[in-house]
Chains A and B, each alone.
Chain A
Amino acid sequence: GQQLNQSPQSMFIQEGEDVSMNCTSSSIFNTWLWYKQDPGEGPVLLIALYKAGELTSNGRLTAQFGITRKDSFLNISASIPSDVGIYFCAGIKQTGANNLFFGTGTRLTVIP
């Protein structure tokens, strides 16, 4: 089942504002991923993080792999209307059969 706690659950922001969301777990993960899902479509991978402390950017998106390996955050700067969607974090454990877990999602609404 779910092992990743993602917050906030939803956000309403004005266009141009910055956004921050995070994902925490009681378990250690080897890799953190951030996805975006648009209505009626499958998730799209935004950023992948491979080692503790890593900070990676993809355009206006920046994500960090927490030092403890139990958390990650995603920032979106200068939000635009097309940022609307549901953002999921996911963590990968290299050991064990259940090796990819998703967060509960953050629903982002951008008000023009």
Chain B
Amino acid sequence: DSGVTQTPKHLITATGQRVTLRCSPRSGDLSVYWYQQSLDQGLQFLIQYYNGEERAKGNILERFSAQQFPDLHSELNLSSLELGDSALYFCASSRTGGMPPGTQYFGPGTRLTVL
């Protein structure tokens, strides 16, 4: 158990819908990172937040957005969902905000299936 929690574990929805994935970092960690892992695209870095502010941005689509709240939990919002958005979405946390992330702890992931 890494100490990073993600909910829900599985999510099944339809094309065109919007979903929100939630991540709680390890206690004391200020950075949250979001990753997408799919068969087509492999593992991709989406976005990083550090202490509530966006710190780095990867291949995140405009239909996707994220935020980090004052209690440091983060949400990844995916809208106008397409079949190709089906993937495993990982959240990770680390104590500092640097890139590379150094010691980074991954959550168990949310498996999103878009039908």
By a beta-carbon cutoff of 8 Å, the part of chain A in contact with chain B is: 1-2, 31, 33, 40-45, 48, 88, 90, 92, 94, 97-105
Contact = CB atoms under 8 A, between A and B. Distances in A.
Contacts of A103: 42
B2 interface: yes
Given A90-B45, A101-B45, A102-B45, 14 more contacts: A2-B41, A31-B99, A42-B2, A42-B92, A42-B108, A43-B106, A92-B100, A99-B45, A99-B56, A99-B57, A102-B44, A104-B42, A105-B42, A105-B43
Interface of B is mostly: loop
B67 to A, nearest CB: 18
B56 A100 contact: yes
Contacts of B100: 31, 33, 45, 48, 92, 100
22 contacts: A1-B59, A2-B42, A31-B100, A41-B108, A42-B2, A42-B106, A42-B107, A42-B108, A42-B109, A45-B102, A88-B43, A94-B99, A97-B58, A99-B58, A99-B99, A100-B45, A100-B100, A101-B45, A102-B44, A102-B45, A104-B42, A105-B43
Interface residues of B, number: 23
Nearest to B91: A42
B57 to A, nearest CB: 5
